Structure 1
Amino acid sequence: MIPVMGFEGRRVAVLGLGRSGLATARALRAGGAEALCWDDGDAGRARAEAEGFTLHDPVRDGLEDVACLVTSPGIPHLYPAPHRAIAAAYGAGVPVDNDIGLFFRSLGQGDWAFHDTPPRVVAVTGSNGKSTTSALIAHILEEANVPVQLAGNIGRGVLDIEPPIDGEVVVLELSSYQTELARALTPDIAVFTNLSPDHLDRHGGMGGYFAAKRRLFAEGGPERAIVGVDEAEGQYLANQMVEGPEDTRLIRVGSGKLSGPGWDVSTRKGWLSEFRKGRQAASIDLRPVPGLPGAHNHQNAACAYAVCRALGLAPRTIEAAFASFAGLPHRSQRVAEIGGVAYVNDSKATNVDAAVKALDAFRKIRWICGGLEKDGGLEPLHGAAGEVLKAYVIGREAEAFALHLGDIPSEICGDMATAVARASAEAQPGDTVLLAPAAASFDQYDSFEARGADFIAQVEALQG
């Protein structure tokens, strides 16, 4: 646990008592603060009460003598409208923060100054690939015998990790919800993977969404920035981070050839290439790596490679670790091969851009898609559907979703069991049955993990 510093003897309100909220309450108590806990659900309040925390509704019970309100990332604090408790804090002039802000505020205190090699923090943000990039960085470091902890939007809550030991690296996956509100953001290395429309209702549009990601760099002032430059926003951000073309505090990452006197890592036709000062420093063939299929995973590999090079690892050490990376559940996860048909679970493809990248990674696709459609429309899918033999549409609004697929052959299935059964019945050897929903899961499931688990269960049932 990372005890929260700076609130000794003071009252701090904690709003939202899921995984990160309870960890925050414990860390506040460990640092000498009094945590006042609230959740709109009975189960969350019961969990906090069972651990001896005081229940305190910020609206009903007020915010008198409260030093700060700490909110969980899923709770709206601006758009489409602030939660009533956060609105009350704004009205009372009580600072609002989240666990990420408390983490950076507290991490460098205690025995930090006594480390021979100070621990470092790598923070990864972007629209797609954050989890795979973060997990891959941690895997490479583990394989290189570098102590590492993985936390944030993946794995453990940031305040729930152990105090870092000498030379350790803390790898954080950070969502836009987390970067937008944190009052302290000071990573040693910051990573921006890419940007595509997502969570637009929570950020008031695309500009607000990008601004939330950009805060990690603008507020944090990282020692080194690793920026994907395939989109205009990444190019802008990269430009903001340098004093000149040769500034190697920036590592640019792209899916095509990059040129210049700085530090670049590119992926092209399955090959990763590193260039420094115009000269090639390394080249790695990513095509045989089973845990990193497709161009989108090659970009994730390039970002992870850049981080590990910035941390001082040799190219061959990184290449060896790539080969043993198994990938993450629900992200281009090969579930089974039955009768020559591959079954792939990419339930994490919750937006159109992620689904496009999944479709680009496979051939002869029987595509299971649908769910709670997000802003931005489905038109980008049309150009990526060249290898789609047929779409099998699930979700409560499956008929409306299918109408947006244009000329892609489709069948309304409604639920996962029907979709897997129909795709399996029509698949031929060499086909891939791919779950890449291009939509959120909340119309039928609690999470994308639950949706992916249902797909896996239906595939396993095919095997008897």
Structure 2
Amino acid sequence: MIPVRGYQGQKVAVLGLGRSGLATARALSAGGAEVLLWDDSAESRQKAEAEGFGMTDLSRHGAFDGVACLVTSPGIPHLYPQPHKIIARALELGVPVDNDIGLFFQSWGSSDWDHFDQMPKVICVTGSNGKSTTTALIHHIVESAGRPCQMAGNIGTGVLSIEPPQEGEILVLELSSYQTDLARALTPDVAVFTNLSPDHLDRHNGMGGYFAAKRRLFAEGGPDRAVIGVDETEGRFLAGQMSQGPQDDRVIRISSGEKLELFGWSVFARKGFLAEYRRGRQMASVDLRDIAGLPGAHNHQNACAAWAAARAIGLPPRLIEQALKSFRGLPHRSQLIASREGVRFINDSKATNVDSAAKALQAFPKIRWIAGGMGKDGGIADLVPHLGTVAKAYLIGHSARDFALQLGDVPHEISETMEQAVARAAAEAQPGEVVLLAPAAASFDQYPNFEKRGEDFARLVAALPGIALA
């Protein structure tokens, strides 16, 4: 645990008692604060009370008397489409509003560091797609180098629940736009921006607000190194703002597809090869094409981001290359489940929107595509340009028939259930093809979350006769 510093003997209110909220309450208490807890859910309040915490209804009159700060969970709206009524009241009263990320950066350093020869560092990863894979890949690389490393944030452990850092330790944090938007302190040593595509627009009042939330990690934090994907206009704009010119190597530009030779420091992937350039000279080159844990151009961009972050903390190319080759990928993200007679089975259940599904469809040459669920606005119309690799689609769930109407001439069938889709796709797949679960839809019509959907796919694949698990 990281005890929260700066509030000893003061009242701090905590709104939202999920994983991060309870971790925040524990860390505040450990730092000597008096915590006032509330959640609109009776079930969540009961879980907190089972740990010995008392409840304070923060909506009642006078609840904020003497309160030094309100700490809110990331899932609770603090600005758009409108702030939660308790947050709105805190703002009316001038009570500072923060989140666990802000408290973490406020409390990360300690007097123990006075005895360290090598200071701990924080690498933060944000962006629209690839955050989790990039975060996990950086963690894998650092651990492979023999350096102490922890991973937390939007992936795995809450930031205030991690162990106090050892000498020379690297902490890798995945940060969502909800987290970067509100944190009052953001001071990473290395900040990574993967890419930007429309997401969470209601919470940010459009693309401008969404980008502004991501940009705070760089503009507010002033990292020593900024790793920035420049395949979109926003990334190019951010890189320009963070650098004093094209040769400023405090910014490491990354790309999947564009050659970046003119900058002070860049890492890019083209035609399956990763290249690192510094001041016009190639420093390293890696063939990514046969790395099973990083299939497709979107994962090659993730590899570029992780490579750049690892180089920014001084790790050598040879070691990073070895770590890339041993990376097995994250569950439900282009995850190789099994193979049979030349057919591979890939679980990308995390592809819950059109953009992520498009990246998955571009990663393999010939696909038996399992898609469907609770479709989002517009369905899969924007996927039509990316369907050239699809031999046949097997549609499941609530939106199966709506998706079928948008497929044009692509062969397809309505499978309804995952069980039928897996059985039919496996029976019809030919050697060299991939059976790909990339739903382009939410899971809530048939599964509680995308993880359960992916696990069901993996279970059904594992039960096929003659299957060889990865």
Query: Normalized against structure 2, the TM-score is what?
Result: 0.94
Q: Kindly indicate whether the alpha-carbon contact (under 8 Å) linking 2:293 and 2:336 is maintained by their aligned counterparts in 1.
A: no
Q: Kindly indicate whether the alpha-carbon contact (under 8 Å) linking 2:375 and 2:398 is maintained by their aligned counterparts in 1.
A: no
- Counterparts in 2 of 1:249-288, with a 5 A limit? 249-255=250-256, 256-288=258-290
Query: CA separation of 1:337/1:68 partners in 2, compared to 1, >3 Å: closer, same or farther?
Result: same
Q: Kindly indicate whether the alpha-carbon contact (under 8 Å) linking 1:36 and 1:54 is maintained by their aligned counterparts in 2.
A: yes
Deviates more, 1:103-112 or 1:276-285: 103-112
Q: What is residue 421 of structure 1 aligned with on the other side?
A: 423
Q: Kindly indicate whether the alpha-carbon contact (under 8 Å) linking 1:58 and 1:88 is maintained by their aligned counterparts in 2.
A: no
Query: CA separation of 1:112/1:331 partners in 2, compared to 1, >3 Å: closer, same or farther?
Result: same
CA distance in 2, matches of 1:19, 1:284: 39
Q: What is residue 352 of structure 2 aligned with on the other side?
A: 350
Q: What is residue 321 of structure 2 aligned with on the other side?
A: 319
Q: Which runs of 5+ in 1 are unaligned?
A: none
CA distance in 1, matches of 2:261, 2:394: 43
Q: CA deviation at 1:349?
A: 1.3
- Counterparts in 2 of 1:3-402, with a 5 A limit? 3-60=3-60, 62-255=63-256, 256-375=258-377, 378-402=380-404
Q: What is residue 435 of structure 1 aligned with on the other side?
A: 437
Deviates more, 1:323-332 or 1:335-344: 335-344
Q: Kindly indicate whether the alpha-carbon contact (under 8 Å) linking 1:198 and 1:351 is maintained by their aligned counterparts in 2.
A: no
CA distance in 1, matches of 2:95, 2:416: 47
Q: What is residue 405 of structure 2 aligned with on the other side?
A: 403
Query: Normalized against structure 1, the TM-score is what?
Result: 0.96
CA distance in 2, matches of 1:232, 1:59: 42
CA distance in 1, matches of 2:356, 2:102: 28
Q: CA deviation at 1:339?
A: 4.2
CA distance in 2, matches of 1:35, 1:214: 31
SS in 2 for 1:429: coil
CA distance in 1, matches of 2:12, 2:381: 46
| Aligned partner letter, 1:118 | M
Give CA deviations for 1:399-429 in whole Å, capped at 9, x if unaligned: 2333334443333333322322332333233
Query: CA separation of 1:423/1:282 partners in 2, compared to 1, >3 Å: closer, same or farther?
Result: same
CA distance in 2, matches of 1:191, 1:49: 38
Q: Kindly indicate whether the alpha-carbon contact (under 8 Å) linking 1:200 and 1:375 is maintained by their aligned counterparts in 2.
A: no
Q: Kindly indicate whether the alpha-carbon contact (under 8 Å) linking 2:372 and 2:396 is maintained by their aligned counterparts in 1.
A: yes
| Aligned partner letter, 2:64 | L
Give CA deviations for 1:414-463 in whole Å, capped at 9, x if unaligned: 33223223323332333211111122323433322122112112222334
Query: CA separation of 1:115/1:332 partners in 2, compared to 1, >3 Å: closer, same or farther?
Result: same
Q: Which runs of 5+ in 2 are unaligned?
A: none
Query: CA separation of 1:92/1:376 partners in 2, compared to 1, >3 Å: closer, same or farther?
Result: farther
Give CA deviations for 1:39-84 in whole Å, capped at 9, x if unaligned: 2223321211011111122113632222222111112222222222
| Aligned partner letter, 2:149 | V
Give CA deviations for 1:119-155 in whole Å, capped at 9, x if unaligned: 1100000111111111111111111111111000112
Q: What is residue 449 of structure 2 aligned with on the other side?
A: 447
Q: CA deviation at 1:299?
A: 0.9
Give CA deviations for 1:211-250 in whole Å, capped at 9, x if unaligned: 1111111111111100000111111110011012211100
Query: CA separation of 1:419/1:87 partners in 2, compared to 1, >3 Å: closer, same or farther?
Result: farther
Query: CA separation of 1:183/1:373 partners in 2, compared to 1, >3 Å: closer, same or farther?
Result: farther
Structure 1 consecutive aligned stretches of length 4 or more whose deviation exceeds 6 Å: none
Q: CA deviation at 1:385?
A: 0.9
Q: CA deviation at 1:375?
A: 4.9
| Aligned partner letter, 2:201 | L
CA distance in 2, matches of 1:247, 1:377: 43
Q: Kindly indicate whether the alpha-carbon contact (under 8 Å) linking 2:379 and 2:402 is maintained by their aligned counterparts in 1.
A: no
CA distance in 2, matches of 1:101, 1:404: 44
Deviates more, 1:275-284 or 1:101-110: 101-110
| Aligned partner letter, 1:155 | G
CA distance in 1, matches of 2:43, 2:447: 19
Percent sequence identity over aligned pairs: 67
Q: CA deviation at 1:261?
A: 3.9
Q: CA deviation at 1:356?
A: 0.9
Q: Kindly indicate whether the alpha-carbon contact (under 8 Å) linking 1:20 and 1:99 is maintained by their aligned counterparts in 2.
A: yes
Give CA deviations for 1:354-397 in whole Å, capped at 9, x if unaligned: 11111111122111122333456633311111111222222323
CA distance in 2, matches of 1:441, 1:88: 35
SS in 1 for 2:139: helix
Q: Kindly indicate whether the alpha-carbon contact (under 8 Å) linking 1:17 and 1:44 is maintained by their aligned counterparts in 2.
A: yes
CA distance in 2, matches of 1:26, 1:419: 46
Q: CA deviation at 1:96?
A: 1.5
Deviates more, 1:264-273 or 1:35-44: 35-44
SS in 2 for 1:248: coil
Q: Kindly indicate whether the alpha-carbon contact (under 8 Å) linking 2:255 and 2:267 is maintained by their aligned counterparts in 1.
A: yes
Q: Kindly indicate whether the alpha-carbon contact (under 8 Å) linking 1:198 and 1:375 is maintained by their aligned counterparts in 2.
A: no
Q: Kindly indicate whether the alpha-carbon contact (under 8 Å) linking 1:272 and 1:285 is maintained by their aligned counterparts in 2.
A: yes
CA distance in 1, matches of 2:35, 2:409: 56
SS in 1 for 2:7: coil
Query: CA separation of 1:248/1:428 partners in 2, compared to 1, >3 Å: closer, same or farther?
Result: same
SS in 1 for 2:17: coil
Q: Kindly indicate whether the alpha-carbon contact (under 8 Å) linking 2:7 and 2:31 is maintained by their aligned counterparts in 1.
A: yes
Query: CA separation of 1:176/1:85 partners in 2, compared to 1, >3 Å: closer, same or farther?
Result: same
CA distance in 1, matches of 2:133, 2:458: 20
Query: CA separation of 1:403/1:72 partners in 2, compared to 1, >3 Å: closer, same or farther?
Result: farther
